[in-house]
Amino acid sequence: MPDIADSIESMEQLATVWRVMVLDRDPQADVRDLPGIAVRWADCRFAFWNCVTLTEQGADAGLVKRRLGEAAEIMRSKERPGFLWVFEDLLDEEARAGLGDAAGRAGLQYAFPGTGMAGDLLPLAEPAHPDLAFVRVTTDEQLRAFADINSLAYGFPSEDGRDGLGQSVMWKTQVHAYLGVRDDGTPVSCAATVEAEGRLFVLLVATDPDWQRHGYGEAVTRKALYEGGRATGLTRATLHATAAGAPVYPRIGFQPNSPMHFFALKD
């Protein structure tokens, strides 16, 4: 049986961190905690900042059907597309088995999988990579590079990433955001950490597709964790991994805990 406490932690970390990120993007953003649904929606071009998630524990099939319909209605009311995040282990067995069909009836389509991960892994040793220098994001130019790497890695237009991050002061001052930069000055990877309710949350890890499979993503993630841990003194870290990143994080010390499903509105 899955440990539901891990899934609760993963869902609560999403709600906590995305509240901060979305309100940083737009202080007037739709940030609400409704019965069974957390809304964190900036309605911007960067789709990851447009998020709703189911929050109830042990939800049965009937309740999940209702919440999926409500979530889809919220998403349809917005100008920009985004995702519904579902933490599988928060659902009961029947609801998990019928999730895909119920989502389809609500007008949602499966987009991609994810995995919640956590670990009591800090402090880490100071990282190094023979190809990279690590540069903290403190300027507009560096923040644009961070956004552009994410856009490239996730298949977004560059304008989308810049719309999500480009005007932020917080990302240049409070977030431990790092670039991995090659000897010729080319930024090729990025990762960030931010404090969230006694944990260090890892987000927006990405590597330029032209430079993948060189260990750059792992190296810059270790740097963001190392510096975030030094600054905060925290020992536990959490993240939400895509399929591409999932094999990397256990090497750092993360343990997979909560299977996740991302849904978008049907075309």
What pairs with residue 238 in β-bridges?
A: 118, 201
Q: What is the distance between the alpha carbons of residues 51 and 91, in angstroms, rounded to a whole number?
A: 19
Task: Give the per-residue pLDDT at 1.
Answer: 43
pLDDT digits (tens, 9 = 90+) for 197-225: 999 999 999 999 999 999 999 999 999 99
Query: Which value, to the nearest 10 degrees, does the dihedral of the CA atoms of residues 118, 120, 126, 129 take?
Result: -30
Q: Check residue 153 and give its pLDDT.
A: 95
The H-assigned helical ranges of the chain are 4-25, 61-76, 93-97, 99-105, 140-154, 158-165, 170-173, 216-232, 249-252
pLDDT beneath 70: ranges in the chain:
1-2
Sorted by sequence, the CB contacts under 8 Å of residue 11 that are 6+ apart come out as 53, 55, 87, 90, 116, 258
- Please give the pLDDT value at position 4: 85
Q: Which residues contact 241 (CB under 8 A, 6 or more apart)?
A: 114, 115, 116, 117, 248, 249, 254, 256
pLDDT of residue 2: 52
In terms of Cα–Cα distance, which of 132, 120, 133, 113 is closest to 262? 113
Strand, coil or helix: what is 145? helix
Instruction: Give the predicted TM-score (pTM) of the model.
Output: 0.94
Q: Which three-class secondary structure state does DSSP give residue 41?
A: strand
Model confidence over 133-153: pLDDT tens digits? Answer: 999 999 999 999 999 999 999
pLDDT tens-digit readout, 220-246 = 999 999 999 999 999 999 999 998 889
Residues forming a β-bridge with 132:
182
pLDDT at 155: 93
Which residue ranges form the domains of the chain, and what is each CATH number? 4-116+260-265 (no CATH), 132-234 (3.40.630.30)
